[in-house]
């Protein structure tokens, strides 16, 4: 493979042209996700939506050179050249599209490394969102940010991971009170949706919450990055959700926001960040708001 920046850019361009308008994401089986942990570089395709592949941004050859030097040094010591796998999703007609790790992929190529470690993830696609919406019978939903709210807590309070779920399998810790909140909203006929910009597999998130004896109705993983620059897809998703749900409640660390479909008005409630009983406070705020509406 070409070792110069010019040679790599020619290879990148040819890859983008070869698969532009051709490949589509498909779900990998759980067995494939479990057993396939590396792939030849020729089966790993650049993501045209990633900044790495956009002309005005493009790859950083400083970063590529740093990775390449690190990989060559490791190979010289008979060590593992690339320890952190690339996040990829399966695509048709063949191979995998890179979600995260383009610079490591490029460094491996210019370093002469044929097989590259990968982690296959099934992130949320538009078809998944449509399926989740069709499956639900509820007309209200609540949303939580996994990265900022569910997996984070300023006071360090977390739910204990059940004995049946080894920490090595699920290193993420769920914030204390989150399972109780999910139960609370389900009992009041709300769908519970969780969002993350990270590349978790949907199945992974489902199994994680099963360990806490709670279900989630909507899971959006990594998809936000893909649709951020696609206004048509974003508009389509917003339209589907607006038609499905009459009401949406968004819960974050400091605020609760309630919106009604078709209205520009919204209700906003502040959360006392110094109050350690975060989940109980959320419930109380919403109970008081509901009582005021009935007056």
By the 10 Å C-beta count (0-12 exposed, 13-18 middle, 19+ buried), 20 is classed as exposed
Question: Three-state SS string across 75-113, please?
Answer: HHCCCCCCCCCEEEEEEECCCEEEEECHHHHHHHHHCCC
pLDDT at 39: 95
Highest mean pLDDT among 43-47, 158-162, 198-202: 43-47
pLDDT at 62: 92
Its CATH architecture, for the domain 126-294, is 3-Layer(aba) Sandwich (3.40)
What is the per-residue pLDDT across 243-286, written as a single tens digit (0 to 9) for each?
A: 999 999 999 989 999 999 878 888 999 998 777 788 999 999 99
pLDDT at 2: 43
pLDDT at 161: 59
Summary mean pLDDT of the chain: 86
Ranges of CATH 3.40.50 domains, the chain? 126-294
Question: Quick check: 153 pLDDT over 70?
Answer: no
- Token pair for residue 270? 């502040």
For residue 249, give the H/E element and its range. Answer: strand 247-251
45 band by pLDDT with thresholds 50, 70 and 90? very high
What is the per-residue pLDDT across 215-251, written as a single tens digit (0 to 9) for each?
A: 999 999 886 555 555 667 778 888 888 899 999 999 9
CA 231 from centroid of its chain's CA atoms: 19
Ranges of CATH 3.90.1530.10 domains, the chain? 5-120
Give 18 or 45, the one with higher predicted confidence.
Answer: 45
pLDDT at 230: 62
Question: Quick check: 146 pLDDT over 80?
Answer: yes
How far, CA to CA in Å, does 95 sit from each of 2, 25, 79, 220?
21, 10, 26, 23
pTM, two decimals, is 0.82
Contact 238, 258 (CB under 8 A): no
Give 106 or 234, the one with higher predicted confidence.
Answer: 106
Please list the residues that pair with 248 across neighbouring strands. Answer: 141, 259
pLDDT > 70: what percent of the chain?
89
What integer is the mean pLDDT of 196-202? 89
pLDDT at 236: 83
Q: The domain 5-120: what is its CATH number?
A: 3.90.1530.10
pLDDT at 114: 87
What is the per-residue pLDDT across 52-78, written as a single tens digit (0 to 9) for each?
A: 988 888 899 999 999 999 888 887 776
What is the per-residue pLDDT across 117-131, written as a single tens digit (0 to 9) for each?
A: 999 999 888 888 999
Please name the residues in contact with 99: beta carbons below 8 A apart, sequence gap of 6 or more.
47, 86, 87, 88, 89, 121, 123, 199, 222
């Amino acid at each position: 493979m070409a070792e110069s920046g010019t040679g790599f850019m020619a290879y990148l361009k040819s890859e983008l042209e070869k698969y532009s308008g051709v490949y589509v994401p498909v779900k990998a089986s759980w067995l494939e996700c479990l057993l396939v942990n590396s792939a030849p570089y020729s089966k790993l395709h650049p993501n045209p939506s990633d900044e790495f592949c956009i002309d005005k941004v493009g790859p950083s050859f400083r970063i590529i050179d740093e990775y390449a030097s690190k990989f060559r040094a490791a190979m010289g010591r008979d060590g593992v050249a690339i320890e952190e796998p690339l996040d990829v999703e399966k695509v048709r007609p063949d191979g995998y599209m890179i979600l995260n790790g383009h610079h490591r992929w490029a460094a491996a190529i210019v370093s002469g490394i044929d097989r590259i470690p990968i982690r296959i993830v099934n992130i949320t696609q538009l078809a998944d969102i449509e399926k989740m919406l069709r499956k639900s019978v509820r007309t209200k939903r609540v949303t939580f940010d996994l990265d900022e709210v569910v997996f984070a807590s300023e006071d360090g309070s977390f739910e204990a991971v059940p004995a049946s779920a080894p920490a090595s399998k699920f290193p993420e810790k769920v914030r204390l009170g989150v399972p109780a909140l999910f139960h609370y909203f389900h009992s009041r006929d709300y769908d519970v949706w969780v969002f993350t910009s990270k590349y978790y597999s949907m199945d992974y998130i489902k199994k994680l919450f099963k360990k806490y004896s709670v279900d989630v109705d909507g899971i959006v993983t990594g998809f936000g990055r893909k649709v951020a620059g696609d206004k048509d897809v974003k508009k389509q998703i917003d339209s589907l959700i607006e038609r499905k749900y009459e009401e949406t409640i968004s819960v974050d660390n400091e605020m609760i926001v309630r919106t009604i479909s078709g209205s520009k008005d919204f209700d906003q409630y502040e959360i006392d960040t110094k109050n350690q009983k975060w989940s109980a406070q959320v419930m109380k705020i919403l109970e008081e708001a509901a009582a005021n509406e009935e007056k």
